[in-house]
Structure 1
Amino acid sequence: MTAQNPRTALVTGATSGIGRATAQALARDGHRVLIHGRDADRGAAVVRAVEEAGGQARFLAADLLNPADVARLAAEAGPVDVLVNNAGRAWFGPTAELDTDTFDRLFAGNVRAAYQLVGALAPGMAERGSGAVISVDSVAGRIGLAGGAAYSASKASLSAMTRSWAAEFSSRGVRVNSVAPGPVYTDGASRELIEQLGAETLLRRPARPEEIAAVIAFLASPAAGYVTGAVIPVDGGRGAV
Structure 2
Amino acid sequence: MRLAGKTALVTGATSNIGRAIAVALAGQGAHVVVAGRNKERGDEVLAEIRAAGGRADFVAVDLDGTKETANELAGAATRLLGGRIDVLVNNAGAIDGTPTAETDEETFDRVYAVNVKSPYFLTAAIAPAMAAAGGGTIINLGSWVARLGIPIGAVYAASKGALETLTRAWSAEFGPSGVRVNAISPGVVHTDQDHPATAMMAGTPYGRIGAPSAIADAAVFLASDEAAFIHGTVLDVDGGRIGVAVIAS
Q: Please report the TM-score for the alignment, with normalisation by the length of structure 2.
A: 0.92
> Measured at CA, do residues 111 and 190 of structure 1 come closer, stay the same or move farther in structure 2, by a change above 3 Å?
farther
Residue 186 of structure 1: how far off its partner (Å): 4.2
CA distance in 1, matches of 2:104, 2:181: 33
1:30 aligns to 2:29 (yes or no): yes
> Measured at CA, do residues 94 and 66 of structure 1 come closer, stay the same or move farther in structure 2, by a change above 3 Å?
closer
CA distance in 1, matches of 2:49, 2:204: 32
CA distance in 1, matches of 2:12, 2:225: 24
Residue 185 of structure 1: how far off its partner (Å): 1.1
Q: Any idea what SS the aligned residue of 1:92 has? A: coil
The correspondence for 1:199, drawn from 202, 216, 233, is 202
Residue in structure 2 matched with residue 138 of structure 1 by the alignment: 143
Q: Any idea what SS the aligned residue of 1:158 has? A: helix
Residue in structure 2 matched with residue 212 of structure 1 by the alignment: 215
Q: Any idea what SS the aligned residue of 1:238 has? A: coil
1:226 aligns to 2:225 (yes or no): no
Q: Report if the CA contact (8 A) 1:63-1:70 is conserved.
A: no
Q: Report if the CA contact (8 A) 1:199-1:206 is conserved.
A: no
Residue 94 of structure 1: how far off its partner (Å): 1.6
The correspondence for 1:124, drawn from 120, 129, 135, is 129
CA distance in 2, matches of 1:149, 1:190: 25
Q: Report if the CA contact (8 A) 2:189-2:210 is conserved.
A: yes
Residue 179 of structure 1: how far off its partner (Å): 0.4
Q: Pairwise mapping of residues 1-241 of structure 1 onto structure 2 (< 5 A)?
A: 6-65=5-64, 67=66, 68-78=68-78, 79-186=84-191, 191-192=195-196, 194-241=197-244
Residue 201 of structure 1: how far off its partner (Å): 2.2
One-letter code aligned to 2:31: R
Q: Any idea what SS the aligned residue of 1:30 has? A: coil
Q: Any idea what SS the aligned residue of 1:60 has? A: strand
> Measured at CA, do residues 114 and 186 of structure 1 come closer, stay the same or move farther in structure 2, by a change above 3 Å?
farther
One-letter code aligned to 1:84: V
Q: Any idea what SS the aligned residue of 2:41 has? A: helix
Residue 161 of structure 1: how far off its partner (Å): 0.3
Q: Report if the CA contact (8 A) 1:10-1:35 is conserved.
A: yes
Q: Report if the CA contact (8 A) 1:62-1:70 is conserved.
A: no
Residue 202 of structure 1: how far off its partner (Å): 2.2
Deviations 1:213-236 (A, max 9, x none): 100110000110111100011111
One-letter code aligned to 1:228: H
Structure 1 residue runs of 5 or longer lacking an equivalent are: none
Q: Any idea what SS the aligned residue of 1:229 has? A: coil
Structure 2 residue runs of 5 or longer lacking an equivalent are: 79-83, 245-249
Deviations 1:33-71 (A, max 9, x none): 000000111101100100000000000011101523222
CA distance in 2, matches of 1:141, 1:164: 16
Q: Report if the CA contact (8 A) 1:16-1:186 is conserved.
A: no
Over the aligned positions, Cα root-mean-square deviation in angstroms equals 1.8
CA distance in 2, matches of 1:106, 1:190: 27
Residue 190 of structure 1: how far off its partner (Å): 8.8
Aligned residue pairs, count: 238
Residue 137 of structure 1: how far off its partner (Å): 0.2
CA distance in 1, matches of 2:191, 2:173: 33
Q: Any idea what SS the aligned residue of 1:135 has? A: strand
Residue 7 of structure 1: how far off its partner (Å): 1.2
Q: Please report the TM-score for the alignment, with normalisation by the length of structure 1.
A: 0.95
One-letter code aligned to 1:51: R
